[in-house]
Amino acid sequence: MRIAVISDIHGNKVALDAVLADIRNRSVEKVICLGDLVGYMPYVNEVIETIKSEQIICVKGNHDKKIAEMPKLSDDSFRVLSDTEKLKSASAAYMNWVLSEENHTFINSLPEALVLTIENKSIRLLHGSPLGIDDYLFQDLEKMAALVPDLAEDMMMCGHTHIAYHVELNEKQFLNPGSVGKPKAGDSRAMYMVVEIKESMVTSEVIQVPYDIQEIEKAIRENPYIADSLVDSINGEESKQQLITCAMTLIANEGMGGLTFENLAVQSGMRKESISRHFETIEQLTKVLIDRLMSIVRTPIEDQLPDTLAYYFNMLGGQSYFSAPTELITYRVLIAFYSDAIFKGRYIDEIKELKQAFIEFVTDGIDKIEGVRIPASLAELILIDLDGLGFHYLIEEDVEKYSELWRLRSQVYIQHIRMMAR
């Protein structure tokens, strides 16, 4: 028997329609849904009506449970809520308010777990894991192994993570179909899984379906009770930013040699095919990382330009290397680029561009604060000092010591700049 398994639709009727249309062309005999019909996106009633009309077997998700257990909001009760209250928790208040009484009753009636038998295989259906409806079961072999002794069924199907997998462990099968409405697999296509059970053999195929993303984006932006930030989570931008963060972590821990598509797939939980939709080559990704390095330093200072040179230099040093783990990762990545440039002759042009951007940034910043245009050579010297201090800080990780060293060095620069302004 061939089964289609869907999950985490989250009010995205546009994606659901595309997936169901695709399922009809794949000789599927049964469709199973692992919950989270609601939450986040606006078409919650339409999604529930489709699940009911298609007679899809369904368990309750954590968002379904949250909204179903809330007292039904009246028009007056909803209108007096603040904008923050309406938007928080995946727009839970809006979902509760907009749901019809019939559909509110329907999601409340959904079971949190079901057991089916198909082709002599027993299958436990749930949303999170046996540990809870909102527990995340990623492709974690150690956690799965701990669940095996209490798993009476041959197979377990769960959702919630929005990331697909099929793992066979100790004669048990663990399957997750990903997400139809809000995938975290690295691209914007809706995701589901086709499972075939035949003669005691279980095989699966992850299917990704294109759909009209502009339609759901438009619906989100036009609905004042849905956060516009959701657009990034469905158009792939959120996944792209996650990949950049994972790439920096890999380089910080393993050097440039650690940045491979294979390692990115493991670190991010995304499929290599999905990663390549954002970055066709590692070289393309490294160019983006160069820009990210600069923005990490620039953005906090540009957002709130200090009004004194002392404060400016303090922020410059703090944002560069000496504060939080994020900055430490940033400097490790920069050192990795420097190392490749020195020993392998790679990324030299990119580092030169980064240096030039930093020089212009420092020159412009000091000009805005002090009204003096320092020479590029002085701005470059500031960069060299930051690099030198940062390198030694990386070895010792003594924030207090190196913050004081940078303060002392900054005083010299400040005195020199003020002499130039006279």
The tens digit of pLDDT for each residue in 173-202 reads 999 999 999 988 777 899 999 999 998 899
Asked, for residue 185, whether it belongs to a domain, the answer is yes
**pLDDT score for 178:** 95
> Is the residue at 167 inside a domain?
yes
Q: The CATH number of the domain where 325 resides is what? A: 1.10.357.10
Whole-number pLDDT of residue 269: 80
The domain boundary, picked from 167, 201, 219, lies at 219
Q: What's the pLDDT score for residue 72?
A: 87
Cα separation, 214 vs 78, in Å, equals 28
Q: What distance in Å separates the CA atoms of residue 68 and residue 104, rounded to the nearest whole number?
A: 6
- Strand ranges across the sheet with 113-118: 113-118, 121-126, 155-157, 172-177, 164-169
Q: Are residues 339 and 410 in the same domain?
A: yes
Q: Does residue 268 fall inside a structural domain?
A: no
Q: Is 331 left (phi over 0), alpha (psi -120 to 50) or beta?
A: alpha
- In the 8-state DSSP scheme, what is residue 70? S
Instruction: Look at residue 187 and tell me if it is in a domain.
Output: yes
| Residue 371 domain-assigned (yes or no) | yes
3-state helix, strand, coil in the chain (%, to 5): 60, 15, 30
- Beta carbons of 367 and 421 less than 8 angstroms apart: no
Q: Are 65 and 148 found together in one domain?
A: yes
What is the mean pLDDT of each successive set of 10 residues along the chain, which is 422 residues long?
97 98 97 97 97 97 95 91 90 93 96 95 97 95 95 97 94 96 86 94 95 95 92 84 91 93 88 85 90 75 79 78 63 89 90 88 91 93 89 82 90 92 73
Task: Indicate which CATH number applies to the domain containing 21.
Answer: 3.60.21.10
182 domain-assigned: yes
Could you tell me the residue range of the domain that residue 36 belongs to?
A: 2-219
> Does 96 share its domain with 25?
yes
Do 36 and 140 fall within a single domain? yes
The closest alpha carbon to 10, from 137, 191, 139, 165, belongs to 191
Would you say residue 201 lies in a domain? yes
Q: Are both 209 and 309 inside the same structural domain?
A: no
Last residue in a domain, options 188, 219, 250 = 219
Number of domains composing the chain: 2
Same domain? 175 vs 50:
yes
The answer to the question of residue 227 being in a domain is: no
| Same domain (yes/no): 200, 83 | yes
Q: Which residue, of 219, 242, 263, is where some domain finishes? A: 219
Q: Please classify residue 109 by burial: count the beta carbons closer than 10 Å to its beta carbon, then call 0-12 exposed, 13-18 middle and 19+ buried.
A: exposed
Based on the domain organization, do 131 and 8 belong to the same domain? Answer: yes
Q: What pLDDT does 327 receive?
A: 61
pLDDT of residue 38: 97
